Amino acid sequence: MDYEDKRSKLVESLKKRAFLTKPSVIKAMLKVPRHKFLPKGAIESAYIDSPLSIGIGQTISAPHMNAMMCELLELTEGEKVLEIGTGSGYHAALCAELVAPDYSKNPGHVYTIERHKELADKAEESLINTGYGDIVTVICGDGTLGYPQEAPFHKILVTASSPKKVPPPLKKQLKNGGILCIPAGSKEWGQDLYIISKKENKFDSKRVTGVRFVPLIGEWGFPE
Ligand code: SAM
């Protein structure tokens, strides 16, 4: 079975388990080649629904988590997205497919921040090699500070677990009418995924489910 067949099989199983329902997200998950974002030793496991190691103690999330977060964010064409925690760059590529499916017509953009330079450089290379170089900007730095030079963002997703108090710069940099998707809680266990929407500078927060992510380390995150 080639990678495309394996990817289709994975998507079918995510649909059956109701992690994938939106046609736009299904299309993006069918298109983005997860195996091209992985280190050599993990490539053969690319289409198993599991988190995988990407080096220096970090992981790429399980595909069902990518699917769930993309659906919750309601990403649509033309939006400006901020991702905190680039990791492999795979989730940023999925977001790129959703906000800029036809880049020439409706240029949405994804800004993604990674604190480890080694991962940021590798992710940038993978994004360029898979054709997302013009739609995704990779930044190396502390994502808990957001990216004020491009704010406000329609959508913000955080792919590492924040302390219970969500970093204030991220709330500030979210556009009115925007959605922030963030895991928060303790550094290891007892984390929950939240969807926070902003309307007229007021925030409405909803818990979605229990999750387990690597910690968000930084000025408004956990200490190293
Ligand atoms: N979204 C990624 C992907 O598609 O591969 C997976 C992200 S991984 C679960 C979480 C990432 O967040 C790690 O690479 C980690 O180094 C990064 N991270 C943790 N704290 C950070 C911070 N303050 N700013 C930027 N990146 C951070």
Residue 93, domain member (yes or no): yes
The number of distinct structural domains making up the chain is: 1
pLDDT tens digits, residue range 39-87? 999 999 999 999 999 999 999 999 999 999 999 999 999 999 999 999 9
- Domain for residue 222, yes or no? no
Choose the residue to mutate in 216, 222, 224 for probing ligand 1, maximizing ligand atoms within 8 Å of C-beta: 216
pLDDT of residue 100: 96
Q: Is residue 223 part of a domain?
A: no
Global confidence as pTM: 0.97
* Paired strand residues for 210: 192
Catalytic-role residue among 13, 45, 53, 61: 61
CA 203/CA 213 separation, integer angstroms: 23
Ligand 1 nearest-atom number relative to CA 113? 25
| Cβ–Cβ under 8 Å, residues 162 and 221 | yes
- Look at ligand 1, atom 18, and give the residue with the nearest C-alpha: 85
- Rounded percentage of the chain residues whose pLDDT exceeds 70: 100
Domain annotation covers residue 175: yes
The verdict on residue 224 lying in a domain is: no
Give the amino acid at 188. Answer: E
Q: Is residue 218 part of a domain?
A: no
The label of the residue with tokens 């280190």 reads 39
Name the band, by pLDDT with cuts 50, 70 and 90, for residue 23.
Answer: very high
Q: Judge whether 216 lies within some domain.
A: no
| pLDDT for residue 130 | 98
DSSP code, position 114: E
Q: Is residue 24 included in any domain, yes or no?
A: yes
Which CATH number goes with the domain that contains 108?
3.40.50.150
Please report the pLDDT score of residue 222 as a whole number: 97
Distance CA 163, CA 191 (A): 9
Q: Provide the domain limits for residue 114.
A: 3-211
